[in-house]
Structure 1
Amino acid sequence: MKRLSGLLLALALCRPALAGLTERDLSEVTLAPQPEARVPASLNFRDLSNRNMTLGEALAGRPALLIPVDYTCRSTCGPALSILEGALIQTGLQAGRDYRLIVVGIDPKDSSDDARAFVHARIGDDALLASISVLTGDPSAVRTLTASLGYRALYDAGKDQFAHPSGVVALLPDGRVSRVLSALALDPQDLRFALVESGEGRIGGMTDRLMLLCYGFDAVHGIYTPVISRVLQAACAGTLAVLMLALAAFHVRSRHVGSSSQGKS
């Protein structure tokens, strides 16, 4: 995840914010969740109707994609959400049933009207639009969420814009972080695998699970992710059971052949 954060930063710093920030400032902009990072399920935000909604309610017991944005961003946030919509449609997974999409504003000054205008201008798919959670929050809620994700943005008061990484965070149903993806370089197949992995085998088909044996390998640490480890354990158990049945059948057949030979003699 730390290596990816550098790519996210290189691809997606909001350009209008750069003029008032130094190179040293920008080196602090990052998206690098810690191992076992988890978003606080009880953290309160507001939806587009200005009703309180916790992150747990937004997750609704399903795997999710969370994308932090600036609703008044004049650079990459809009294209990033449009790219995400297109990739999600191509995954073949059903919004609301298979996964949740959570959009969270990083600027506490942005209103629900700002959030509504931003999302409706970029999400045209009715099913996705009906199931999306578009959230705004007070400064404390935003700080708590971004800290839990290792997400750091810098504000340029002169431009009223943020320098921030453009990333999509894949979450398990309990809020644990499973993947971080670049919002500007999303591949539909990778996105589908990220959601299947976050769903812990409850969405997708057998082909997806088999493909995850490769996708779920962490080459940096030389280990499989916990979900893939469980799949491998189940596969090994199944293989062992088949071998035991084959050996038992061979033993029974051998005894039968031996008894027949003795009868003939």
Structure 2
Amino acid sequence: MTTVDRPTLTACAIVSLRLVLAMIMSLLIDSTAFAQRFTTGSPYRTPAGQSPTAELLRDIGIEQQLDSQLPLDAVFHDEMGRRVPLGEFFDHRPVVIALVQYRCPMLCSQVLNGFLKTSQAVPLEIGRDYQFIAISFDARESSDLAAEKKKQYSRAYRRSGAANGMHFLTGDQDAIDRITRVIGFRYRYVERTDQFAHASGLMIATPKGRLSRYMYGIDFAPQDLRWGLEESAIQRIGSRVDQILLLCYHYDPLTGKYGLAISNLLRIAGGLTIFGLGTYLAFMFRNERRRSKLFPAENRAILPMGASDSTLKELSQS
């Protein structure tokens, strides 16, 4: 039977763990350096926090303006190209509003897809119980593009009434500025990519056009949508919610893509690694103390390697 000196085994294990920890820390440092180079290297070549990306990110967001009155007299164009005031879509039903860019390759489509998925999971129906309005914040977009979007999402909704309850609007810059200013939607145009840096979310308004609820992100809980609509239907204004905007991914307006927030991921990974190693060390020392109580120091060298607690008890009683 193979025997190993128990103190020697413990010392070797500790040394091995220290080596593993050193390797992991080295990897984390290298990865952090890579993240720093990714942030400050080409095309930025500026210190982190001072890059054009950081400056743009400070200028975008969705500031909650609860109980603010929407500009119902602002004139937009519907999918048919007709000039219509925003108030035409407000009656006795609450309204869900999404500020999007129809040509947006990523985030805006995710917002619309997230709303579509959530709307299909609630008993309230578009057209019957509430209205949905998507408004493009890109003044260059046409009614033809809005019509394509309406056709796409009204078909995907697969419920009657979608054609009358879904509206995809475009407008001139003045109308867009009025609606975005009241909602608190701040965005920036990035000439290099011909795209907009912006945040994501939905707004719910009462039948009278007052902002009652904000829902952030691209994945919306069905119960939140239902409760928000039910409260809005009775003119009740909700409370402020935490802004959870793309926790793991951040928009890079200079490249037009979303990249993983490397520094946040590394902090999480490092914390989990340290916790795991600490737990393992605590387990080893606990077992070592248990063995020390069962066996005198002169007998530990003959303990079988990897012996279980039940085996140790049998040996201690023999």
Q: TM-score, normalised by structure 1?
A: 0.66
Correspondence for 1:151: 185
Higher alpha-carbon deviation: 35-44 or 167-176: 35-44
Checking the alignment, whether the CA contact within 8 Å between 1:30 and 1:165 is kept in structure 2 is yes
Is the 2:130–2:165 contact (alpha carbons within 8 Å) kept by the matching residues of 1? no
Aligned amino acid, residue 130 of structure 2? Y
The residue aligned with 2:224 is: 190
Cα separation, 2, equivalents of 1:192 and 1:40: 25
Report the CA distance shift for 1:55/1:181 in structure 2 as closer, same or farther (over 3 A).
same
Aligned equivalent of 2:171: 137
Q: Of 87, 100, 111, which aligns to 1:69? A: 100
Deviations 1:116-152 (A, max 9, x none): 2234334412432432111100000000110011111
1:36 offset after TM fit, Å?
Answer: 2.5
2:200 aligned partner, one-letter code: S
**Paired AA for residue 125 in structure 1:** Y
Distance apart, 1:64 and its partner CA = 0.7
Matching residue of 2:70? 39
Structure 2 Cα separation of the partners of residues 218 and 22 of structure 1 = 28
Distance 1:23 1:101, change over 3 A: same
CA contact (8 A) 2:102 2:145 kept: yes
2:126 aligned residue (83, 95, 101): 95
Shift of 1:154: 0.4
SS at match of 1:90: coil
User: Tell me, what secondary structure is at the counterpart of 1:22?
Assistant: helix
**Alignment-mate amino acid for residue 111 of structure 2:** A
In the alignment, residue 97 of structure 1 is paired with which amino acid?
Answer: R
- Distance in 2, matches of 1:218 and 1:141, equals 26
| Residues 114 and 217 of structure 1: CA distance in aligned 2, closer, same or farther (over 3 Å) | closer
Instruction: Encode CA deviations 1:74-106: one digit per residue, 9 max, x unaligned.
Output: 111112111101111211002112110000000
Which of residues 78, 84, 88 is equivalent to 2:109?
78
SS of 1:173 mapped into structure 2: coil
Aligned to 2:157: 125
Q: Which amino acid aligns with 2:151?
A: H
How much has 1:67 moved relative to structure 2?
0.3
Partners of 1:65 and 1:169 in 2: CA distance? 6
Give the AA of the match of 1:63. P
1:113 pairs with one of 121, 134, 144: 144
- Residue type of the alignment partner of 1:78: S
Asked if 1 retains the 8 angstrom alpha-carbon contact of 2:213 and 2:238, the reply is no
2-structure distance, mates of 1:54, 1:101: 15
SS of match in other structure, 1:56: helix
8 A Cα contact 1:33 1:148, kept in partner: no
Percent of aligned pairs with the same amino acid = 30
Structure 2: 5+ residue stretches without partners:
1-42, 45-50, 243-318
| Equivalent-residue separation in structure 2 for 1:196 and 1:187 (angstroms) | 14
Structure 2 CA distance, aligned partners of 1:92 and 1:36?
26
Equivalent-residue separation in structure 1 for 2:239 and 2:181 (angstroms): 27
Residue identity matched to 1:47: D
Larger Rg: 2
Q: After superposition, what is the alpha-carbon deviation per residue over 1:199-245, rounded to whole angstroms, capped at 9, x for unaligned?
A: 018xxxxxxxxxx9xx966699xxxxxxxxxxxxxxxxxxxxxxxxx
Confirm or deny that 1:176 pairs with 2:207.
Answer: no
Pairwise CA RMSD of aligned residues? 2.5
CA distance, structure 2, for counterparts of residue 216 and residue 73 of structure 1: 30
Scaled by the length of structure 2, the TM-score of the pair is 0.56
Contact 1:72/1:118 (8 A) holds in 2: no
Quick check: 2:203–2:213 contact (8 Å CA) kept in 1?
yes
Structure 1 residues 195 and 35: alpha-carbon distance in aligned structure 2, compared to 1, 3 A threshold: closer
